Amino acid sequence: MVRRKNTDFSSTIFDDVYRTIISRMPQFIIPVINDAFGTRYPMDIEFEQLKNEFYSKNGKLVSDSIFLIKGHIYHAECQSNPDNTMAIRMFEYGMEIALERARKNKDYLHVDLPFYVLRYEKELETIDKDRKRLDELLKEYTGICSKLEKVLEDNGSSELYNDLVGCIMEIMDYVLRTHKNARKEINEMGGKVLETYTEKTEKRARKEIHAAAKDIRNGLSSVELKKKYSAETIRVAKSIAQLFT
């Protein structure tokens, strides 16, 4: 007898099984955390599962699982299919988790966030006085911005770039507030990065508008235009196309 494969299940079965394990046998996340983060937690370590639902200005965010172990927060997601938006969603979850656990300390709001620059916090005084180290830091952050730009463009979320880079620069400006050389260089770098991105965006927009204007002159239907271009691009392109009629 030939046994037929059951193909009537969706990819959510993986998510369902993962959530079952997390809810009924959460201790099995410990080896995963140890392998991913190089920790050595024993299987019987005490930990807390934190709430996984957050409300941002864009709506409800639900993460798979969040754990508090020895003062450290670990966020785990189960994803069975390729998902180019995962990096963005993890960033959003991280922000909401951090804000959720923010605590008042006198007149300051303390937020537990793994902001990248904080890994250099103990070295900043040395970096501020060492041209080579400072150049390395600038190069590293320029690379981060370039990768961020590509990820956002690949996911159709390039409009978030300026906001995210702005957030990075705000953190850098605050952390480097007593390190004048590094602060000045980082601020200049941030300005150049945003200026370059703006130039790229404007150049792409001009190319798209001219392409749309050409399609309009060639008689492409409104339906087809809407499939290829945004409403604003079509509006501007129509104005340009009229100049040649």
189 domain residue, yes or no: no
231 domain residue, yes or no: no
- Residue partners of 163: CB distance under 8 A and separation at least 6: none
More confident position, 66 or 96: 66
The phi, psi pair for 226, rounded to 5°, reads -65, -25
Q: Please check the confidence at residue 182 and state whether its pLDDT lies above 80.
A: yes
Q: Please check the confidence at residue 22 and state whether its pLDDT lies above 80.
A: no
Taking residues 146-175, what's their average pLDDT? 77
Most confident of 70-74, 98-102, 148-152: 70-74
62 domain residue, yes or no: yes
Structure token digits, residue 185: 């260089």
Helix (H) or strand (E) holding 149: helix 131-154
170 domain residue, yes or no: no
- pLDDT band for position 63 (cuts 50, 70, 90): low
Instruction: Quote the number of domains for the chain.
Output: 1
More confident position, 62 or 137: 137
Helix axis angle, 180-217 to 161-175, nearest 10° = 170
30 is in which domain, residue-wise? Answer: 9-114
166 domain residue, yes or no: no
What is the separation, in whole angstroms, between the first and last Cα of the chain? 73
pLDDT of residue 2: 35
Fill in the DSSP letter of residue 119.
G
Burial of 111 (C-beta count, 10 Å sphere; 0-12/13-18/19+): middle
Q: Please check the confidence at residue 112 and state whether its pLDDT lies above 80.
A: no
Lowest mean pLDDT among 17-21, 106-110, 198-202, 227-231: 106-110
**Average model confidence (pLDDT) across the chain:** 76
Helical H runs in 40-130?
A: 86-100, 124-129
